[in-house]
Every structure is written in C-alpha cells, then in structure tokens.
C-alpha cells in the first residue's frame, strides 16, 4: 500500500466592498461563457461566476473573469454562446454584431460602471458600443468601456479609436507580462479594466505605475513618428517600461479619444449618476419634494468636491419644469489639470 500525503487546499475567495463612495467598480462583461444560460447574471466573486458560467478558458468570457475581478466589485455577465440544432449540438462562441446588439439590449438601463466586451473590438462593433453607451448616458446610467484593438497596423488602430466616442476608458494594443506570464491581448485589456474598477474615479493613470505588470509587448517608440506617439495622440492607452531595473511599467498618458483624461470621463459619469436621484422618481412634484431634491443635490456636490475631492467644483440649478419634471442643470464641472511636465532649472556657479 502506498501512503498518500494529506493535502490542504486554501481558496482565497475575494469579494469586493460594495457602494464605496468614490468608487465605480461594477463591471458588465459580454462574452462567450461555458453555458447555455441566456439571461444576464450578477456575481460578486470569482468562485460564484465560475460555478455558474464555467472555467473553460477557450470561452473568452470565462477567460477574463479572474482578471476583471482584481478590482471589480461585481460582474454582470451576459452570455453570447449559442448552440446549433445539430446532433450533437455545437457551441458557437464567436461574437457577431448581431449577438453584441442583442446582449447590450439585455442590460440597457441597468446600473453598471464599466463595460467590457470579451473580444477584439472591430470597426463594426465600436459604433454599436458607442451608441449603446450614449443611450445609457441619456438614461442617467452612464458607463464607459475598456477594450482591446488588434488592427493590422498602427493606422488601423488609430482609425478604430476615432469611433470610440465620449464613453471610452481605455483602448489597449499591448500585452502585459504579469508574474512572469505574458497575457493575451484580451486578458491584458481585462486586467487593465479590473485595475480601473478597483480605484477611485478621481484617480488618473497618467504616468502612474500599472500594478503587477513588469513588462509589455510590443514596446513602442515615443519619438516623433514612432508608433507610441501616434497611438498616444489618438487617445489609445499606451504603456512603457520606465525603470527596467525594477520592472516598473507606467501609463504614458491616460487621455482618451475624446481628448479628456480617464479620470475626467469617470468623474463626469459618476457625478451624473449621483445627481440623477433615481430614488426620487415617483414622488409628488410639490414644494416639499423640490426642497428635498435641492438638499440632496447640495449633499452630492459637497461629497464629490469637499469630501472625496473628485473635482474642484460643481455649479448647478434645480427648478420645477412642469408637474411631472424637476430639472437639474449641471452648469459646469471644474477639474484640476494634470501635471504632465516638470521643468528643473539649474544654475551652476564656479568660483
């Protein structure tokens, strides 16, 4: 008889804190999962998601679960896997524009902060995503998306970035090396989305270290005419090794295709969602309610500006527009600039 060495297995079940002020970590992910479930499902841990939607990494949705959960407080998963009527049935995992449109329709009006599509984003997909997020913004449930581009050239990726609109949080064209493993482009984008989900909306990534990443591939040149500079100017999030001896990788600039930094886009969406005051819908539009709404708007402004320090100021007006409508007009959102240059002046004296 052969003796068996007893084993103890420890599983670290990580669940994020929910409703942490200043954070917007609810992620919606559309992709192929190892299931025939057609309804969106919400999960707050890796284990729960994998039990229901599978662990087979040949399904792109399954492949990105762990990377997204490095910072996400929850995942709203929408499965696009379909089965043919053949015998035995065949699973079809490819994301088409029709599947993307149908999946997005299932979560329209739901509360999430970041949209991640578990596929390489094409020029036919980007306008669909942009139009969907425009509608979410109009419904006062704004969100932004993170995705990967794998164009045939730098010029092709620049063209794709031009389709991203106002609701982009990151377009990725480089692969990450994490703990000695070179991630796929899709998993690298998911990893970055997870990092963003886990940090305050008031944080920029410009010139900041990418936690856990020690190398990137490819490494771009940022000289005039270099691919890095070209992608950067198009609002594509680019990374470089800043300190090779300590394997420090940074985001060169997190300005997005709309010309605004990541943090400005995220804070804008956070403020709009907070000021939508969804809980007041259905209340009678009388002077008492109007006064309560004004007080709540003042509270949101104070929290965002004075407590959380997300932006410099918010100016607004609140007025009764008609018996069914109270109008909250955000007159201005004032943001602090980002330091992108430091000049060091040296005076040398020789005696």
DSSP-derived secondary structure for 41-87: EEESSHHHHHHHH---TTSHHHHHHHHHTTT-SEEEEEE--EE-SSS
In a domain, 272, yes or no: no
pLDDT by residue for the chain (351 residues), tens only, comes to 556 665 555 444 544 444 577 899 999 999 999 999 999 999 999 999 999 999 999 999 999 999 999 999 999 999 999 998 888 889 999 999 999 999 999 999 999 999 999 999 999 999 999 999 999 999 999 999 999 999 889 999 999 999 998 999 999 999 999 999 999 999 999 999 999 999 999 999 999 999 999 999 999 999 999 999 999 999 999 999 999 999 999 999 999 999 999 999 999 999 999 998 888 888 888 888 889 999 999 999 999 999 999 999 999 999 999 989 999 999 999 999 888 888 899 999 998
CATH number of the domain to which 91 belongs: 3.30.1490.450
Q: Residues 150, 218: one domain?
A: yes
Element holding 238 (H helix, E strand)? strand 238-243
In a domain, 143, yes or no: yes
Closest CA to 100 of 84, 78, 83, 85: 78
Q: Residues 234, 111: one domain?
A: yes
Q: Residues 176, 312: one domain?
A: no
* pLDDT score of 11: 44
Residue ending a domain, choose from 262, 295, 327: 262
In a domain, 10, yes or no: no
Q: Residues 180, 319: one domain?
A: no
In a domain, 1, yes or no: no
* pLDDT score of 284: 87
| 3-state DSSP assignment of residue 14 | coil
Burial of 151 (0-12, 13-18, 19+ CB in 10 A): middle
In a domain, 128, yes or no: yes
Q: Residues 248, 165: one domain?
A: yes
* pLDDT score of 205: 96
Q: What is the phi/psi pair of residue 21, to 5°?
A: -55, 135
In a domain, 20, yes or no: no
Q: Residues 158, 286: one domain?
A: no
Residues 6 or more apart whose Cβ sits within 8 Å of residue 184: 63, 175
Burial of 240 (0-12, 13-18, 19+ CB in 10 A): middle
Q: Residues 164, 293: one domain?
A: no
Q: How many domains does one find in the chain? A: 2
Q: Residues 176, 43: one domain?
A: yes
Summary count for the chain: helices (H), strands (E)? 9, 15
Q: Residues 310, 233: one domain?
A: no
Residue ending a domain, choose from 232, 262, 292: 262
What is the rounded distance in angstroms from the CA atom of residue 191 to the CA atom of residue 241?
A: 17
Residues 6 or more apart whose Cβ sits within 8 Å of residue 296: 277, 280
Domain that holds residue 176: 26-262
In a domain, 273, yes or no: no
Sign of the dihedral defined by the CA atoms of residues 269, 274, 276, 278, in that order: positive
312-317 — which CB contacts under 8 Å span 24+ positions?
312/336, 314/271, 316/275
Q: Residues 74, 196: one domain?
A: yes
Residue ending a domain, choose from 234, 262, 290: 262
* pLDDT score of 346: 92
Q: Residues 211, 312: one domain?
A: no
* pLDDT score of 62: 98
In a domain, 267, yes or no: no
Token digits for 112? 């999430």
Q: Residues 253, 295: one domain?
A: no
């Amino acid at each position: 008889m052969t003796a068996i060495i007893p084993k103890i297995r420890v599983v670290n079940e990580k669940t994020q804190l929910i409703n942490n002020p200043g954070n917007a970590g609810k992620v919606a992910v559309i992709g192929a999962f190892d299931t025939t479930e057609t309804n969106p499902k919400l999960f707050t841990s890796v284990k729960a998601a994998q039990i229901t939607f599978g662990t087979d990494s040949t399904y792109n949705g399954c492949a990105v679960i762990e990377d997204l959960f490095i910072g996400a407080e929850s995942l709203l998963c929408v499965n696009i896997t379909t089965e043919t009527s053949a015998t035995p049935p065949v699973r079809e995992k490819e994301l088409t524009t029709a599947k993307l449109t149908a999946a997005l329709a299932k979560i329209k009006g739901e509360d999430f902060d970041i949209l991640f599509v578990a596929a390489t984003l094409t020029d036919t997909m980007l306008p669909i995503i942009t139009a969907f997020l425009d509608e979410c913004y109009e419904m006062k449930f704004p969100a932004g998306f993170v995705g990967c581009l794998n164009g045939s050239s730098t010029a092709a990726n620049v063209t794709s970035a031009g389709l991203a609109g106002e609701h982009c949080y990151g377009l990725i064209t480089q692969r990450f090396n994490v703990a000695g493993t070179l991630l796929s482009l899709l998993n690298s984008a998911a990893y970055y989305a997870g990092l963003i989900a886990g940090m305050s909306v008031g944080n920029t990534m410009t010139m900041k270290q990418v936690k856990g990443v020690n190398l990137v591939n490819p490494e771009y040149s940022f000289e005039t005419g270099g691919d890095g500079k070209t992608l950067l100017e198009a609002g594509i999030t680019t990374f470089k090794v800043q300190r090779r001896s300590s394997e420090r990788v940074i985001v060169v600039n997190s300005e997005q295709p709309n010309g605004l930094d990541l943090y400005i886009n995220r804070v804008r969406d956070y403020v709009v969602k907070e000021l939508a005051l969804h809980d007041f819908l259905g209340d009678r539009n009388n002077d008492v309610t109007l006064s309560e709404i004004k007080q709540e708007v003042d509270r949101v402004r104070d929290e965002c500006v004075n407590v959380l320090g997300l932006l410099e100021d918010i100016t607004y007006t609140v007025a009764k527009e008609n018996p069914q409508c109270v109008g909250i007009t955000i007159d201005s959102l004032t943001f602090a600039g980002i330091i992108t240059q430091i000049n060091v002046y040296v005076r040398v004296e020789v005696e």
